[in-house]
Amino acid sequence: MRRVGPSLLALTLSLTSLAALAEVGLRSGPSSSRVEVGAPFTVTLHASLDGGEQVSSPSLAVPPGVVARGPSVSTQSSISMVPGQMRRTVELSITWTLVAPRAGQLKLGPASIVVDGRRLTDRSITVQIVPEGSVPAPRSRNRSRTGSAFDPFAAMDPFGGGDPFSGPMFPPGLAQQLGLLTPPGDPLDDVVRNWPEELNIDRPLDRTAFVDARFGPRKVVVGQQVTLGIYAYARPSPFEIAGGTDPSREDFLSYDLSEGTRTSEHQLLIGREAWYAGKIRQFALFPLRAGRLRVGPMQVTFQGHEKVGKGAYRELKRQSRPLDILVEEPPLNGRPAGYRVGDVGDFKLTAQVEPRSLQQGEAISVRIELNGTGQPPERILLPELPQLDWLPPTLSEDIHRKHEKIGGKRVFQYVVRVLGSGQLELGKVRLPFWNPATNHYEMAEAALGTVEARPSAKPPPPQSSTPSETPLPAARGALRPYQPAALPLTERRGFFLWLLLGPSAVLSYAALRRGLPRLARWSRQRALGPTQRVAAEILAARQSLSSGEGGSAASHLERAIHLAMSSYLKLESRALLRPALAKQLSELGVSGELSAELLAILEAADGLRFTGGGTSDVASLIQRTVRLCDGLRASRSRRGAQS
């Protein structure tokens, strides 16, 4: 349980006492024993005081999730006469307004107050919270000027009672300062009748909070503005949006219509439930292509801007649904020449030309201003006249929002050289566009008028003609069969074959230079017998040793051993691992001592190939290899004699 309600520190009630201190009577109760989910109800604590007691700190314990507002306090005094003295009795009513978020049995209280430093507590009470629609609607009652039958937070007069002996419960201004009064003229009934229509929704998308995204119009063409609004709804208390992510909109040119503005939060009814809602973002989107284009979801975080509200939402995250927008191109039927897809809106053109009188060959300034609603086009149609030379324009723009519509102006500043002379008609600048308001193509035009160009004393330079890339053939004096021109070298048959012969010859020469010596060595080795090939490798190992190349000598010794096993034992040993090699040697009848020596020499040769080793180590390994090869040859002889 937690204590709710404003802390009423230093709140005291001074009662004029004409008698001794008496017991305070407390009783509390709800406005109804059965209440619908989301419907407001009240709990009131009544206290009867007799004497000069000091009263402060009213409190009501409520379960987590239940929103409580208040308390509001009213008093009523009465005077009674007893023999010899006058007694004043004060009836105190302290009221809280509550809203329960879910159905079930709700235990409230106990309610309590502090009287003369002692906290007095009443009993707990129970209210049955039922689903919405379970309690019949109450009959309408006449409402007072300041109250509302619907509004649980309507203003309550803490000075009420009408008793001539009753006085203000608090010092002037203290109740308003401590938040015990709802500001006059702000009853919920008045708010309900005046929320913006754009917040209306058929049904809530969630029981606590949700975000809804909508767009309009529903049918658009490429370049037409789509207004996207994003709205947040929550209950049972006011809320704040604490950050979030904007919706993705890659296929649109986007303007943020909510930038620099802050929409207010409103209270409204969805069905029979009270909600808080507000527009949190608004965008103007201009589709860049036709098709079914998607606007992604927007994610936000709800927080309360009061202590109770923060407890109700606890940084609740919600996101809107993604939206698909169907975009088409304007119709082809009736499309004017020069129209560019995307020029959509309602535009007007104005033009200024300076000066109107000049010398032939000089330039004039043409300023064309494009105004209207919609995304201003980046190009207009210029008059194509031989006496005018239009240079590239300088552009400036001023795009802004007006009543949730994007519009503005774009200025084209041209420098135009006048090539002709005399009274020259400059023609018109034009802009064809699609107007979604009328669903028709329209044409914005601006006449440029005329200029007076005085002939120049210096004749204009002759127009340069672009020479033909292919010279014309000489004229023929008599008819004869057509003789085609000789083909260029690059188009003749076999040109690229001859072009490739040079690189091919170089590659062939390099291959022969390297391959012929290797082929000769291979041929010589094939001509030698097994014993000669082994001896040749051992001789090469000795030569490498004399040159100080221990690693090369070890490689020759390895090849000698593998040649010996291939020649004498018919065993291809290069692809075998050492354990598998030992097993194969045993199966071929090689003694265990000879097999162990063979593996040891291979192991030592592996080490020498990478480390080089000393001269004595390599020389010793050569002698061991010679004895090993002799032993393998003798083993073959024994196997042949046995077979």
CB 95 within 8 A of CB 1: no
Calpha distance 595→582 (Å, rounded): 7
| 254-281: pLDDT as tens digits | 998 886 555 678 888 888 788 889 999 9
Calpha distance 128→125 (Å, rounded): 10
Q: Which residue has the higher pLDDT, 221 or 146?
A: 221
**pLDDT in the model for residue 538:** 86
CA distances to 27, 46, 121 from 112, rounded to whole Å, are: 10, 10, 4
CB 400 within 8 A of CB 407: yes
pLDDT band at 176 (very low <50, low <70, confident <90, very high): very low
**pLDDT in the model for residue 394:** 92
Q: What does the block give as tokens for 401?
A: 């929002």
The backbone torsions φ and ψ at residue 174, rounded to the nearest 5 degrees and listed phi first, read -70, -40
pLDDT band at 171 (very low <50, low <70, confident <90, very high): very low
pLDDT band at 373 (very low <50, low <70, confident <90, very high): very high
Calpha distance 391→419 (Å, rounded): 13
Calpha distance 320→318 (Å, rounded): 7
Which residue has 């090469």 as its token pair? 540
Region label for 548, one of left (φ > 0), alpha (ψ between -120 and 50) or beta (otherwise): left
**pLDDT in the model for residue 221:** 94
Calpha distance 231→263 (Å, rounded): 10
CB 228 within 8 A of CB 215: yes
Among 69-73, 101-105, 126-130, 447-451, which stretch is predicted with the lowest mean pLDDT? 69-73
Nearest alpha carbon to residue 330 among 472, 443, 470, 433: 433
Calpha distance 597→578 (Å, rounded): 12
**pLDDT in the model for residue 516:** 83
**pLDDT in the model for residue 471:** 64
| 293-351: pLDDT as tens digits | 999 999 999 887 654 444 567 778 999 999 999 999 999 999 999 999 999 999 999 99
**pLDDT in the model for residue 370:** 95
On whether the pTM is more than 0.85, the answer is no
Return all residues near 30 (Cβ < 8 A) that are at least 6 apart. 41, 42, 43, 108, 125, 127
* Partners of residue 245 on adjacent β-strands: 299
| 456-491: pLDDT as tens digits | 776 655 544 444 455 666 776 777 787 777 888 888
Q: For all residues of the chain together, what is the average pLDDT? A: 78
**pLDDT in the model for residue 491:** 81
Q: Which residue has the higher pLDDT, 515 or 187?
A: 515
CA distances to 353, 365, 431, 465, 527 from 387, rounded to whole Å, are: 16, 15, 22, 17, 95
pLDDT band at 447 (very low <50, low <70, confident <90, very high): very high
| Average pLDDT rounded to a whole number, residues 516-528 | 71
**pLDDT in the model for residue 545:** 82
Q: How many CB atoms lie within 10 A of CB 314?
A: 10
DSSP string for residues in 2-37: EEES---TT-------SS---PPEEEEEES-SEEET
**Dihedral sign from CA coordinates of 295, 299, 305, 310:** positive
Q: How many CB atoms lie within 10 A of CB 160?
A: 14
pLDDT surpassing 70 at residue 435: yes
Q: What does the block give as tokens for 190?
A: 């008045």
- Work out the percent of the chain whose per-residue pLDDT is above 90: 25
Among 286-295, 608-617, 623-632, which stretch is predicted with the lowest mean pLDDT? 608-617
> Widest CA span of the chain, in angstroms?
157
pLDDT surpassing 50 at residue 1: no
pLDDT band at 172 (very low <50, low <70, confident <90, very high): very low
pLDDT surpassing 80 at residue 142: no
| Average pLDDT rounded to a whole number, residues 98-102 | 85
Calpha distance 73→325 (Å, rounded): 55
pLDDT band at 189 (very low <50, low <70, confident <90, very high): very low
Calpha distance 397→409 (Å, rounded): 6
CB 47 within 8 A of CB 24: yes
Calpha distance 551→529 (Å, rounded): 26
What count of Cα atoms within 13 Å lies in the side-chain half-sphere of residue 622?
Answer: 24
Residue 299: helix, strand or coil by DSSP?
A: strand
For the chain, the residue count is: 643
**pLDDT in the model for residue 412:** 95
CA distances to 45, 110, 494 from 121, rounded to whole Å, are: 10, 6, 114
| Average pLDDT rounded to a whole number, residues 588-600 | 84
| Average pLDDT rounded to a whole number, residues 544-565 | 84
**Crossing angle (nearest 10°) for helices 615-642 and 530-546:** 170
